[in-house]
Structure 1
Amino acid sequence: MTTQITSSILALDTCTESCSAALSYQGQVFSRIADAPREHSQRLLPMIDEVLKEAGVNLASLDVIAYGRGPGSFTGIRICTSMTQGLALGQDLPVIGISTLAAMAQMAINEHGAKQVLCAIDARMNEVYWAQFVDANGIAVLVGKEQVSSPDLVEFTLDNSHETQACGTGFDAYPQLLNLGNIERLIEVNFPDARAMLTLAQVGITAGQTTSVDDLAPVYLRDTVTWKKLPGRE
């Protein structure tokens, strides 16, 4: 079953090497994506302008902004959350955070019919951000929790009698992860894509999970206390 996207949603993601924007409006999807490491802050706004112009709408016509909340690059997450904050504040729009790992799993389901997905993003420092998902009526549902760990500590617990699709750069950096079970590398899904975020955002909207921009909540997974401002620091 495919989730029908009935809301007008702008989705943004810059949490990995890929930068993407997608807009759902009146049953149509408009999107841009580019592999542009270190260029996200320059590329994202033009992408947003392009999809809005292509749809013939402005920000005020939207219902919600969906943003890539992480995990991923700390700088990339900050760019995405800061951009979302600026856009949402200007139009008093609600926001909803979408996991980068869930977005990859959703893309595997949407485009490749995956039933089980193991997502892993190279987190550097000999670690990966990872999570397991299953298809529940066309929606990527998290099994367990999202984690950051060394590749040796990734625990595969999905049904081994069914093939699991492996998505993300973690499998390029640590190919031994493919030996954890009945796992097949899905090279077509290596990064989050804002198009898949639209599906997850619609599910969240229906469930009442949108928030005020004041409650925008990035997810770093790795030592989040490290990123907290110290007293007296900006």
Structure 2
Amino acid sequence: MPTLLALDASSSACSAALLCRRDGHDDQLLARFVQAPREHTRRLMPMIDELLDEAGLTLADMDALAYGHGPGSFTGLRIAAGVAQGLAFGLEIPLIGVSTLEALALAGHRRLHLRHVMPVIDARMGELYTAAYRCHAGELTRLADEALVSPERLTLPAGHEEADWVGVGSGWEQWEALPVTVQAGVSQHLPDMQPAAEDMVLLAAQALASGGGEAPHLAQPVYLRDQVAWQKSR
């Protein structure tokens, strides 16, 4: 099993996770997760140091690095991509970008055993990031491509409307603005769930086993939006 480190700063939370095998025993997953709005830059490196210390490893032991490539917060995505890119470049190891929407779907499956998951993230500017997945035994099948839509244009995956859908992610806070067909097809919605490196490192391990990974200089965040608006905090 490869030794992987994953980082995420795509939302108000900041997280890091380490997947490794220690002393010939079973795979070990170590993770840190904290709500840290506007503190991602300060929090990421100490998290990495804590995980490495706990596992008794160094960055030189990593086979690859992963990061949440989006969609999500423009600033947060750039922070995670920059840190992961810099580390991977210095270590001369592959970099793996992981979808935040896919990570949310896996989180719902791992924690709550959900089968049909529709992750939706608040994209601000009156829009939502969305996708849909069927989950089984830790494997995800995408049933709807990642998209950027307004709340009133959100739809259930074509051909799968009768499945027992569960919504996860911050976008479901806009429940009242969603079409009645979506409300009728979603048995529950969990807006407090956020993307986490703990799920991303598992997805990255699958990708690496399938030949995934790229040179660090090719890393690019995925925004799903041509223009990014900056909003001055008040």
Is the TM value for this pair above 0.5? yes
Aligned partner (choices 202, 205, 212) of residue 205 of structure 2? 202
Query: Are 1:131 and 2:131 an aligned pair?
Result: yes
| Partner Cα distance (1:189, 1:108) in 2 | 11
Structure-2 change in CA distance of 1:19 and 1:45 (3 Å): same
* CA apart distance, 1:140: 2.1
Q: Name the residue aligned to 1:19.
A: 14
Aligned CA RMSD, in angstroms, stands at 1.8
SS in 2 for 1:123: strand
Aligned partner (choices 5, 9, 13) of residue 10 of structure 1? 5
* CA apart distance, 1:37: 1.0
Q: Name the residue aligned to 1:184.
A: 187
* CA apart distance, 1:193: 1.1
* CA apart distance, 1:111: 1.2
Aligned positions, number: 221
| Partner Cα distance (1:62, 1:101) in 2 | 25
Residue type of the partner of 1:196? D
Q: Percent identity?
A: 38
Query: Are 1:222 and 2:225 an aligned pair?
Result: yes
* CA apart distance, 1:126: 0.5
| Partner Cα distance (1:184, 1:37) in 2 | 30
* Matches for 1:133-152 after TM superposition, within 5 Å: 133-152=133-152
Q: Which ranges of structure 1 fall in alignment gaps of 5 or more residues?
A: 1-5, 228-234
| Partner Cα distance (1:178, 1:205) in 2 | 38
Which segment drifts farther, 113-122 or 182-191? Answer: 182-191
* Matches for 1:62-77 after TM superposition, within 5 Å: 62-77=62-77
| Partner Cα distance (2:191, 2:71) in 1 | 20
Give me the TM-score of the superposition, normalised by structure 2: 0.89
Alpha-carbon contact 2:3-2:18 (below 8 Å) kept: yes
